[in-house]
Amino acid sequence: MNSKRISFGAVVAALVLGLTAAQGQIVSMGPRTAAASTLPVVSYLFPEQVSAPADKPTQVELHFRIAQGMHINSHAPGQEEPIPTTFSIPQDAGVRLLEANYPAGETMSLAADPGTKLNVYTGEFVIRARIVPQAGNHMVEAQLRYQACNQTQCLPPKTIAVPIDVIGK
């Protein structure tokens, strides 16, 4: 008789994965370890520092990476319900955001609703922000707000910090 056994470790791993996914994170479990390392769904890659002429518009390319197997709604997801990705800079940051230009994204339909088409980001993407820094050194805590999903479910919206040291010369 061919019976399948589920180990206690597999049950615990499934519970950890479910809890972590509900918190907007992905768990990576290595083949040789029972310990889980938590990875964010979206990671800010660079730049960490930007030098720009004070009081003059400057374009900055902000690079992000989305965890494998996940996608986030684009800035214009194509439907009313999904929460769009947005980039912002606080008003008191010493740096003004003139505009944020988002990539085009790609069209995707979900397994749960193949007739609905969404515009999403996967892998790596770049937001081109036009900023105007005041003179001086400004540690800007910009923000990226997004909603992440996989093929079967969407997580609650999340906002991550995008720290940029902006030097206005």
What integer pLDDT is reported at residue 110 of this predicted model?
74
Kindly report, residue by residue over 145-168, the tens digit of the pLDDT.
999 998 888 899 999 999 999 999
Residues 30 and 71 placed together within one structural domain of the fold: no
Pair 53, 124 in one domain? yes
Task: Calculate the CA 21 to chain-centre distance.
Answer: 14
My answer on whether 111 and 122 are in the same domain is: yes
Higher pLDDT among residues 139 and 33, named by residue:
139
- Give tens-digit pLDDT for 101-129: 999 999 998 777 788 889 999 999 999 99
Q: Are residues 59 and 136 in the same domain?
A: yes
The closest of 26, 13, 51 to 149, measured between CA atoms, is: 26
Range of the structural domain that residue 27 is part of: 1-40
51-88 pLDDT per residue, tens: 999 999 999 999 999 999 999 999 998 877 789 999 99
Same domain flag for 123 and 85 = yes
Whether 138 and 148 share a structural domain: yes
Number of structural domains (the chain) is: 2
**pTM score:** 0.75
pLDDT of 143 strictly over 70: yes
**Cβ–Cβ < 8 Å for 64, 126:** yes
Q: How many CB atoms lie within 10 A of CB 66?
A: 20
As a whole number of angstroms, the distance between CA 79 and CA 33 comes to: 41
The verdict on 74 and 103 lying in the same domain is yes
What burial class does residue 130 get, using C-beta atoms within 10 Å of its C-beta: 0-12 exposed, 13-18 middle, 19+ buried? middle
Between 23 and 107, the higher pLDDT residue: 107
Residues 19 and 85 in one domain: no
Look-up of token digits 């768990």: 27
- Mean local confidence (pLDDT), 122-143: 97
Residues in the chain: 169
Residue 38 binned pLDDT confidence (cut-offs 50, 70, 90):
low
DSSP code for 162: E
- Chain Cα centroid distance, residue 78: 18
Q: What is the pLDDT of residue 160?
A: 96
Do 49 and 12 fall into the same domain? no
CATH number for the domain spanning 100: value is 2.60.40.1250
